[in-house]
Copies of this chain bind each other. A is one copy, B any other.
Amino acid sequence: MLLKSQVKYIQSLGHKKFRDAEGVFVAEGPKIVNELLRVNGISATDIFATGEWIKLNPELAGALSSEHLHKIEAFQLEKISGLTTPNEVLGVFNKPIFAEPLVKNRISLLLDDIQDPGNLGTIVRIADWFGIDSIFCSEHCADAFNPKVVQSSMGSIVRVNVQTRDLISFLNSNASIAVYATALEGENLFKMKPLIEAFIIIGNESKGINADLIAISRNRITIPRKGRAESLNAAVAAGIVLSRLAG
């Protein structure tokens, strides 16, 4: 069953304000929802699923109390889904609770105004692949629990601690840690060795890294270009940089 109030509630979670107030986020599709249901410390407040999902996932469905599991029809899933092709199940989950992020003896990512949710989610997934614990986002980044970020992170959003910071004051208060800014002119990434401790800054999709931030970054790194493209996608650049420096 799907109540009008539930439709309204889920739609409201498309907005950061309501996600923050409720402390929850939305994930969709069996791949991500099933994975999240198996993560220790992550709990679902509501799972809206078709009969098909319930039949295919007896263990997961069986572990949910009837209060939390709502069997709905495909046409009802369409009403609450943000996907072009709604897919069996939508879950509302409590946001993960992370310990205070650590920055010593490890690499952390700093994202300067990554505004495309797909890019942000892809970067979270890359960070999770390379064992990066924390990402610090400038205030103009997309919200980490935007549904599109959750989807493109493929569930990694509950394993990587994504925090919002004023990046300039953050760097100033962690001045002992070396800062590497990706830039069009800098040290050849392909000649660098993996790093033990660093902040690596990835810039905005079209504007790159803010001049203020560049100014306080001692090290500039460049992905050498052999062809003619003007730039690389921000998430692809993050992947290439981490594969060298955190790989």
Indicate which residue in B125, B129, B237 contacts A226 across the interface (CB closer than 8 Å): B129
Interface residues of A in 126-164 (CB under 8 A from B): 126-132, 152, 154-156, 159
Q: How long is the Cα–Cα vector from A35 to B230 in the complex, in angstroms?
A: 10
A233-B122, A247-B190 known; A127 vs B227 contact (CB < 8 Å) = yes
A233-B125, A235-B236, A236-B126 known; A132 and B243 CB under 8 Å? no
Residue A244 lies at the interface, judged by CB distance under 8 Å to chain B = yes
C-alpha spacing A128/B118, complex, angstroms: 22
Contacts of A232 in B (CB 8 A): 125-126, 129, 239
Within 8 A of B (CB), among A204-247: 206, 223-233, 235-237, 239-240, 243-244, 246-247
Extra inter-chain contacts (12) besides given A125-B229, A125-B232, A236-B239, CB under 8 Å: A31-B206, A128-B229, A129-B223, A129-B225, A130-B225, A131-B227, A154-B229, A156-B229, A159-B227, A226-B246, A233-B235, A239-B239
